[in-house]
Amino acid sequence: MTKLSVNINKIATIRNARGGNMPDVKLAAINCQKFGVHGITVHPRPDERHITYQDVYDISPIITTEFNIEGYPSKEFIDLVCKVKPNQVTLVPDPPDAITSNAGWDTVKHKDFLCEVIAEFKEFGIRTSVFVDTNLKNIDGAAKIRTDRIELYTEPYAANFAINKEIAVAPFTEAAKHALKLGLQINAGHDLNLENLKYFVKNVPDVFEVSIGHALISDALYFGLDNTIKLYLRELR
């Protein structure tokens, strides 16, 4: 079964709109795990507009499943990850002003930089995942920088799913098969939801983990967090 990691950034976005500690992101992480998720994901950004660096420190001790910290590998981010030592760090090429992740790494152009960053994380025993698109050259590059996993950027799949799901998923199927041949494990994320999730994991081989935040937290406003998590887990079985 593909594992479900819930990105709780949107919980922090709501909290930060008013200040204070409502809703409580630490309690959200506790409840997500209680309701059956396999991991918690956070994505702190330099302006701390949702998850803050302090949130990451506060959440870390209560993680009983897996902890995935994703973000752009600035010095501050690298220092945070090396102090917290999560199970996994996912590297994304977001500029500081990005609203959300909108592209994968050019692993050829940024080979030396990524090699250096990944080597540092490996010294601390942290599993690494690199956010990439379906361009096979970037997957080849990911293997060369010695990351453990790639995370397939699935926004193009989600955007085209309603138009033609077979065409939408085809590049991801090919990319996953190519990655597996190179010895890479596969994660996926961005705009996966209750409508398109099952078809994706059915047609893309050996997806180890999906990271879902925006859609899942939005669904929880209507269905409740416990029920929503059960709905997503059902799609993955």
User: What gap in Å lies between CA 128 and CA 90, rounded to an integer?
Assistant: 6
Instruction: Respond yes or no: is residue 110 known to be catalytic.
Output: no
Q: Which domain holds residue 52?
A: 3-236
The b-or-e profile of 22-34 (16+ CB within 10 A means b, else e) is eeebbebbbbbbe
Tokens representing 195?
């409508």
Question: Residue 89 in 3-state DSSP?
Answer: strand
Length of the chain: 237
List the CATH number of the domain containing 89: 3.20.20.70
Number of domain units in the chain = 1
Q: Tell me the whole-structure pTM to 2 decimals.
A: 0.95
**Is 190 tagged catalytic?**
yes
Q: Which two tokens stand for residue 217?
A: 């937290």
C-alpha atoms less than 13 angstroms from C-alpha of 13 in its C-beta half-sphere? 13
Q: Choose, from 43, 66, 151, 235, the residue flagged as catalytic.
A: 43
> What is d(CA 75, CA 98) in angstroms, rounded to the nearest whole number?
18
What average pLDDT does this structure show over 190-203?
Answer: 98
Among candidate residues 50, 66, 70, 209, the one labeled active-site is: 70
pLDDT in the model for residue 94: 81
50, 66, 151, 190: the catalytic one is: 190
pLDDT tens for 133-184 read: 999 999 999 999 999 999 999 999 999 999 999 999 999 999 999 999 999 9
98-147: per-residue pLDDT in tens?
656 667 999 999 999 999 999 999 999 999 999 999 999 999 999 999 99
53-99 tens-digit pLDDT: 999 999 999 999 999 999 999 999 999 999 999 999 999 998 666 65
43 is catalytic: yes
CB 201 within 8 A of CB 210: yes
pLDDT at 21: 95
